Amino acid sequence: MKNAAIISDTRLILFSELSGIVCKTAQYYFQNGILPKSKVAILGYNSIEYVITIYALWKLAAIPVPINTRLKESEIKSIFKSSQCSNIIMDNSFKNSLSNLPSIDMTIKNKGREYKVNTNTQENETAVIIHTSGSSGVPKGVETSNYNLYQSFLALSQIFNFSNDDVFLASLPFYHIGGFSIINRALLSGGVLVIPKSLKQNDIVYSMKEHNASIVSLVPTMLKRIIEEGIKPNKNLRCLFLGGGASSNNLIYSALNNNWPIVKVYGSSETTAMITACWGAKLRETPNSAGKPFSGITIKILDDSFNEVENGIVGEIAVKSKTIAKGYLNLPELWNKKKFNDFYLTGDYGYLDKEGKLFVVARRTDLIVSGGENIDPREIESILNTHPKIIETFVFPIEDSEWGEIPVAIVVLNEAKCLSQKNIIDFLKPKIASYKLPRKIIFTNKIPKTELGKVNFNEVNELFNATE
């Protein structure tokens, strides 16, 4: 593994050959029509080819737009269009699944000409566009700059001392900011990036142990499964970053008692991944805490009038940091609504204790986080409401021991009233990714609402409990 830059189940690339391969691959993409400053969609599973494609696009001063591999064709095309992408680079898994998009095969070139143009990319230019769900019903493209990526790495590395001795496991999908940041940390630290055969549990555990990974990131669902199977950490593992959804105190204690070096983190696409961390004795004392913000990051808790509240009082979590993204692609008005003075308004709610540790009480009220995936309930509602036999819908999360949260839909039918749960799921399947499908459909005559016309969550919970 000495001098290795990237390792997969089929290939190894050394640091000594990395630059040449990137430049040759960049020339290949340039010859296939990718130009500097263009936005380029990427659709593929984690692989060496994916990483080299990212580096090659950066060499061309083009902007990668990673796309969730679990999306349907219509969803992919919507992101391609709204992001104004010039091309889509796809691996072989998706070669015949998309039509009418200008596509290029994802590949690695280690022969031929090298791309030699000096691109002079600036630190404030967009390095990547990561799409995240939200209240609009359409995924938002978060524009993350070169400066954001570097500052995120710097803040984390100052605490956990990343070095060229580290082995980083690519244990999250590259289309998420969490997975994309793993690429960045490995490159900037000079460590090894290990890419498992897949993101299935067995392949992650195999690669972690086979290559003695030192830095791993997991969502709670995956960690829970690993612990339940009695799997122990490898001897070199020193940081297991845990984020991407709610983690129970029982899971934290179970992991710590089995010697997993858990670092519980909090962050989002807009903050360029994690901005707080809690580990060691502090995590055992307060397993429900997300920890303190990293150096250079300020967190305030604000009330509805944007006044800072006292410690222990719940309010909206606001963040000031050099890692805050440039904004939402083509949505400046929406981004402006997320800013107050120099702070980014997360939409999450929590409080700070007297030590400055953050406790997240509720993630964004408009999002369902299931197995690390963000689900926008309004997207599901808008599609359901196009059905001719449906009058109104409401989609909400319920807690789930395996996935953290799962979506449930309340449906009001018109006078025909002849739809089953299977009918509705079959209606949704061609239109949205499978992880977004409601796990349960509740039929009712009307959706419970307050006098002001807002959904009455207490009555919604009663309605759900009555059907259990």
The boundaries of the domain holding residue 413 are: 376-467
Calpha distance 60→52 (Å, rounded): 12
Q: Do 65 and 13 belong together in one domain?
A: yes
Name the amino acid, one letter, at 313: I
Determine the Cα angle at 456 with ends 451 and 461, to 5°.
155
Q: What is the DSSP letter of 96?
A: T
- pLDDT for res 416: 66
Calpha distance 149→153 (Å, rounded): 6
Q: Do 330 and 400 belong together in one domain?
A: no
Q: Do 385 and 326 belong together in one domain?
A: no
- Kindly report the CATH number assigned to the domain that includes residue 461: 3.30.300.30
pLDDT tens digit string along 182-225? 999 999 999 999 999 999 999 999 999 999 999 999 998 899 99
Helix, strand, coil share (%) of the chain residues, nearest 5: 30, 30, 40
Backbone angles phi, psi at 28, to 5 degrees: -60, -45
Other beta carbons within 10 angstroms of residue 229's beta carbon come to 10
- pLDDT for res 415: 76
Q: Do 419 and 294 belong together in one domain?
A: no
pLDDT tens digit string along 121-170? 899 999 999 998 754 456 799 999 999 999 999 999 999 999 999 999 99
Q: Is residue 368 part of a domain?
A: no
Low-confidence ranges of the chain (pLDDT < 50): 135-136, 452
Backbone angles phi, psi at 443, to 5 degrees: -95, 135
Q: Do 224 and 349 belong together in one domain?
A: yes
- pLDDT for res 245: 75
- Determine contact, residues 87/34, Cβ cutoff 8 Å: yes
Determine the Cα angle at 404 with ends 311 and 245, to 5°.
50
- pLDDT for res 64: 99
Q: Is residue 370 part of a domain?
A: no
Residue-by-residue DSSP string for 269-298: TTTTEEEEEEEHHHHHH-TT--BEEPTT-E
- Kindly report the CATH number assigned to the domain that includes residue 59: 3.40.50.12780
- pLDDT for res 142: 98
Which residues does 179 contact at the CB level (< 8 Å), separation at least 6? 46, 170, 171, 172, 173, 217
**How many angstroms from the chain centroid is the CA of residue 181?**
10
Q: Do 315 and 406 belong together in one domain?
A: no
- pLDDT for res 137: 52
Write 361-364 long-range contacts (CB < 8 A, 24+).
361/314, 363/246, 364/134
Domain count, the chain: 2
- pLDDT for res 448: 84
